[in-house]
């Protein structure tokens, strides 16, 4: 049975007249990959900075590993890892030196940071200075630094920004391996495919508030259930399609039909076509995605 390792109730944070976080409540379970998504300026980064004790909230209650990040920061620091959106290191520090230094912050100094060099593709850059690394190499180093103390919880803010598609996929596999090893992962991301692939659950934050929480599949079913089917059709009569179960809308264009429906609409339409001896070779299905959910909830603000 899992237990909550992060609990947030009515978090609020302002900067002067600017409301960064209006009212955020969420709960993260032990061992899950929990995603936080939302438009720019919605309060995502401020929220996780408050969770780590890097920002002081104006009001609300936060518990991370049963600790108060604001007043018990030192007890929490050795138990969490963090890769921030705006991370930086001294230009003349070498890759291995950074890993060795960060490893010393853990509960034991016997951390095997050398294995992280291999896992994150940095072995050839071990002796390189930070200033000579490419953007993608710096990003991989920051993730490795977040994991070097084997934290109970790791916070990753835009972890794959600057990585090419191949490197992103490798990062996903490594993050899944981190979770399988027992570490809880909290991810802030702009990539909806990343959130849909990785996250067990996620929160959509909009205008400083949690607009929705659930698994990717639950959010898709709730906010973007429509399935689109299209195929070539030379006939004019589409009444039989409109009367097919689970079909909500039929759009007839010259030589083409587009159908919007829910649930088992694909099977229903395929059966209706087969019953009339029709087998269009260009039968296409467009399933809803987490990106559709994001646009629906946020009104396409980003």
**pLDDT at position 163, please?**
80
Burial class (CB in 10 A: 0-12, 13-18, 19+), 205: buried
Q: 3-state DSSP call for residue 253? A: strand
* Beta strand pairing call for 184-188 and 33-37: parallel
**pLDDT at position 109, please?**
47
* 281: CB partners within 8 A, 6+ apart: 232
Number of other CB atoms surrounding residue 62 within 10 Å:
20
**pLDDT at position 184, please?**
96
**pLDDT at position 110, please?**
45
Q: What is the largest CA-CA distance in the chain?
A: 75
In the chain, which stretches have pLDDT less than 50? 109-110, 301-302
* 226: CB partners within 8 A, 6+ apart: 248, 260, 261, 262, 288
Q: 3-state DSSP call for residue 257? A: strand
CA distances from residue 283 to 256, 259, 269, 271 in whole angstroms, order as listed = 10, 11, 10, 13
Burial class (CB in 10 A: 0-12, 13-18, 19+), 202: buried
According to DSSP, residue 244 is labeled: S
Q: 3-state DSSP call for residue 300? A: coil
Domains by residue range for the chain, with CATH: 4-214 (3.40.50.300), 223-298 (3.30.70.980)
CA angle 193, 30, 49 (to 5 degrees): 70
What are the φ/ψ torsions at residue 249 (nearest 5 degrees)? -155, 140
């Amino acid at each position: 049975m899992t237990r909550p390792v992060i609990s947030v109730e009515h978090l609020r944070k302002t900067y002067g007249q600017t409301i960064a976080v209006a009212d955020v409540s969420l709960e993260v379970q032990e061992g899950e990959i929990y995603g936080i998504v939302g438009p720019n300026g919605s309060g995502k980064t401020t929220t996780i900075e408050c969770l780590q004790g890097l920002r002081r909230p104006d009001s609300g209650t936060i518990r991370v590993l049963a600790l108060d990040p604001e007043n018990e920061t030192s007890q929490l620091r050795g138990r969490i890892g963090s890769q921030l959106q705006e991370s930086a290191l001294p230009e003349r520090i070498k890759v291995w030196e950074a890993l060795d230094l960060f490893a010393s912050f853990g509960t034991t100094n016997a951390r095997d940071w050398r294995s992280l060099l291999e896992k994150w593709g940095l072995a050839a850059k071990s002796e390189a200075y930070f200033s000579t690394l490419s953007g993608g190499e710096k990003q991989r180093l920051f993730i490795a630094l977040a994991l070097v103390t084997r934290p109970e919880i790791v916070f990753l803010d835009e972890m794959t920004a600057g990585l090419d598609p191949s490197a992103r996929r490798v990062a996903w596999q490594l993050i899944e391996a981190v979770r399988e090893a027992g570490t809880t992962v909290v991810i802030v991301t702009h990539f909806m495919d990343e959130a849909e692939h990785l996250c067990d659950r996620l929160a959509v934050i909009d205008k400083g508030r949690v607009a929705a929480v659930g698994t990717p599949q639950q959010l898709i079913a709730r906010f973007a259930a429509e399935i689109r089917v299209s195929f070539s059709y030379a006939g004019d009569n589409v009444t039989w399609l409109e009367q097919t179960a689970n079909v909500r809308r039929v759009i007839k264009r010259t030589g083409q039909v587009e159908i919007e429906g829910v649930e088992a609409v694909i099977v229903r339409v395929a059966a209706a076509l087969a019953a009339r001896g029709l087998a269009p070779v260009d039968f296409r299905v467009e399933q809803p995605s987490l990106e559709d959910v994001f646009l629906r909830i946020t009104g396409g603000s980003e």
